[in-house]
Amino acid sequence: MPMLSKSAAKAFFLGGTALTASVFLGLTWDTFQQLPARTNAAALSESAIRGKHLWEDNNCMGCHTLFGEGAYYAPELTKVYERRGPVFIRAQIKDPEKMYPGERKMTNYHFTDAQIDDLIAFFEWAGKVDLNGFPAKPTLGAAAQAAPLVAANRPAVFSQLCVTCHSLQGAGGTVGPALDGVGSKFDAAYLERWLKDPVAVKADSKMPKLPLDETQVTELVAFLSSQKKEGAQ
């Protein structure tokens, strides 16, 4: 095989360098063109930005992971808005110990309602950043995601909050009792009192007083009352 002449080798080197540099610059330009859409920049509101500062100032990454960065002591939060929803996030941040008595070790930072709104906005924004499928959907709780919980009147708050501790049709949490047939066990008035203040109904109840408004209570009472034992009317 004939050797390249000095001038040909120089031309090959310069041409290859120019071609590689052009490809690199082209890919860099393309990446920057995609950044606004992939980072969900349009949804980065002032509230979400304040939430980001709260996240950083309180060293949340010392326990949690976001975008693959942080610690693994506590749950990964990149998709927490999608996975849990705003009702659960608000209740958990407001009073972690009350949500899981004697179990959760998360610090209560005593954030104001406005600050919690900002953190929720930040988590909502983070969850919509295009990360090419990262993080993968967790296998933990997969039964709740693939569940036959398809009742048309199932309230959003039930999906976000109640299934964290309770199961229905074999899907959900195991901290509290299963809710199958709960409408046959208790009437609507009892369910309403229980949802508004469990401890007032049962002094040793481990269920927290949830941050539910009247509309959410009404929706849950109607839904739970419809959960009858098979064959019951």
What's the CATH code of the domain at 111?
A: 1.10.760.10
pLDDT band at 66 (very low <50, low <70, confident <90, very high): very high
What single-letter DSSP state applies at residue 5? P
Mean pLDDT for 53-80 is 93
Q: Are residues 115 and 147 in the same domain?
A: no
Give whole-number Cα distances, 126 to 9, 66, 71, 142, in Å.
Answer: 50, 8, 17, 22
Of 71, 100, 127, the last residue of a domain is: 127
For residue 137, tell me if it sits in a domain.
no
pLDDT band at 76 (very low <50, low <70, confident <90, very high): very high
* 135 cis-preceded (ω within 30 degrees of 0): yes
Residues 6+ apart with CB under 8 A from 19: none
Q: Are residues 106 and 148 in the same domain?
A: no
For residue 50, tell me if it sits in a domain.
yes
Q: Are residues 111 and 163 in the same domain?
A: no
Of 127, 154, 189, the last residue of a domain is: 127
pLDDT higher than 80, residue 109: yes
Of 76, 103, 127, the last residue of a domain is: 127
What is residue 111's predicted lDDT score, i.e. its pLDDT? 96
Give whole-number Cα distances, 77 to 6, 66, 154, in Å.
Answer: 58, 6, 25
pLDDT higher than 90, residue 54: yes
For residue 49, tell me if it sits in a domain.
yes
Q: Are residues 54 and 105 in the same domain?
A: yes
pLDDT higher than 90, residue 191: yes
* The length of the chain, given as a count of residues: 233
For residue 214, tell me if it sits in a domain.
yes
Q: Are residues 119 and 153 in the same domain?
A: no
What is residue 35's predicted lDDT score, i.e. its pLDDT? 66
92-96, 132-136, 145-149, 196-200, range with the lowest pLDDT: 145-149
What is residue 146's predicted lDDT score, i.e. its pLDDT? 38
For residue 35, tell me if it sits in a domain.
no
For residue 4, tell me if it sits in a domain.
no
For residue 67, tell me if it sits in a domain.
yes
Give whole-number Cα distances, 175 to 29, 69, 85, 162, 217, in Å.
Answer: 51, 29, 19, 11, 21
pLDDT band at 233 (very low <50, low <70, confident <90, very high): low
For residue 216, tell me if it sits in a domain.
yes
Q: Are residues 152 and 191 in the same domain?
A: yes
Task: State pTM to two decimals.
Answer: 0.68
Q: Are residues 94 and 120 in the same domain?
A: yes
- What is the chain's mean pLDDT, rounded? 84
Which has more confidence, 142 or 155? 155
What is residue 130's predicted lDDT score, i.e. its pLDDT? 87
Other residues' Cβ atoms within 10 Å of the Cβ of residue 167: 21
Return phi, psi of residue 113, to 5°: -60, -35
What is residue 147's predicted lDDT score, i.e. its pLDDT? 43
| Number of domains comprising the chain | 2
pLDDT higher than 80, residue 170: yes
Q: Are residues 105 and 173 in the same domain?
A: no
Domain of 207 in residue numbering reads as 142-225
Which has more confidence, 133 or 89? 89
What single-letter DSSP state applies at residue 174? S
Q: Are residues 69 and 99 in the same domain?
A: yes
What is residue 138's predicted lDDT score, i.e. its pLDDT? 60
